[in-house]
Structure formats: structure tokens, C-alpha cells
A and B are shown apart, each in its own frame.
Chain A
């Protein structure tokens, strides 16, 4: 059992015994606590490493863009909460560092914007929502709703990019151009996680991290 799981079960147990709840409700509380802690941990790690590498804004935009889209579209998953948090940092801070290092040219950003959004609309239309064994989406009506919400959110991102682009042309502030690139990378990464390629990337990262942890003192250190 992972540390987060133990902590969640402990919190749920305490609340359930105080309020005299049954096992089913205790399970729901543990599930809520687990998700809350895991989400906070993921956000804090991205903010911390973003700050450390001086790419806080870009890393936050990439992380929030992909995570909010993920809420509706689903996607590939890691096999442990700790590796999930680390993967979250890698896929947010890594691309943010690239954005910070390369010279972002206007033309390049706007051409990539068209390409990424065409690809994202196609992938989401074809694959979303991608569920998991731990949380299967069985009802067709729910699947249709998630697909529709994913497409609406993608359109909101596109409108946001257009607004930021207008602001950029008026101010020529490079931070705005970097923000556009960050939204694009967040959308691109989340779209890729819906495909076979995304599942392969997450699986490889997951496996590499597992091996790395076991080399550094065994699986128990991760828990």
C-alpha cells in the first residue's frame, strides 16, 4: 500500500468512526482524500520544480491545460501515484524548459498552433474519452458527454490562444508568446496520451522510474 493510500485510509477511518459511518461511505471518503492529496502533491511538485528551473509560468500553464482537458478526455495512466506525480513534473517542466531555451518565432508558433489543434480535434473526436480498468466508463451517454465536453474545452483553449495572440500583437510581450506555446504543448501532450503512442510513452516512463527506484533501494522506498 502506498503512503498516500495509507494516509487517505487513516483520515477516512477517523472521520467514519467519529460520525459512525458504514464501510461504503468510508471507502468514498478514502477515495476523496486520496484524490485530493494526489492532486495537491502533483500541483505542488510542478510549482516547486517550475520555480527551481525558472519556468513557473510555462510549467503551470502546460500542467493546468493538460490536466483540465484530462478531466473530460481521460488518458493513459501510471501504475503508482508517486510515479504519476514524477511523470507530471517531467511532462510539464521539460517542455517548459524547451520553450524557455528556444527562440519562439511568431510564425513558428502560429503554424504549430494550427497543426496541433487540427491533430487534437481529430484525436479527441476519435478516441476520447479513454478510460481505465480502475474507473471504466460504461454508459454510452456518459462517453458522448465527455467527448462533447472535451471538444468544447479544446475550443475554449483555441479562443484563449486567439485572445492572447491579439494581446501579443498589441504589446509584443514575449511572455504572451511563450504562454501560447505552453497551451499548445499542454493540449498536444494530453491528446497524445489518448493514443497508443501516449500509452507507450507513459508505460516506458513508468517502467523506467520503477527500475530507477528499485535500483536505488527497492520498491519499499517509493511507498
Chain B
């Protein structure tokens, strides 16, 4: 039960964070005035 909960939370985190990363990658810039280095997997797209 506990393992299932942890996996579900990880899947949720994966979905949200991947969505944010993809959205930022499709933009010229993010919200603020600091830009972290874009991961290779996204910059190659």
C-alpha cells in the first residue's frame, strides 16, 4: 500500500515536472530573470 502511494506520487511529480520543463523549453524564457541551463534532452528537440 505504502509502495503504491509512493509510486503514485512519483508518477504525479514526473507528470507535473515534465510538463513544466517542456513548457519552459518551448518558451524564449521563464518567469523570472534567471535562466538555468537547458537539459540536452530538451535542447535537442
Contacts and interface: CB of A to CB of B under 8 A. Distances in A.
Interface string A139-175: 0000000100000000000000000000000000000
Interface SS of chain B = helix
Contacts of B33: 75-78, 84, 87-88, 193, 202
Nearest to B38: A135
Contacts, number: 134
A62 to B, nearest CB: 13
Interface string B34-45: 111111111100
Interface residues of A, number: 53
Secondary structure dominating the interface of A? helix
Top-6 shortest CB links A-B: A32-B21, A32-B17, A84-B34, A74-B28, A18-B10, A27-B39
Interface of A: 5, 11-12, 14-15, 18-19, 21, 24-25, 27-36, 38-39, 42-43, 67, 70-81, 83-85, 87-88, 128-132, 134-135, 137, 146, 193, 202
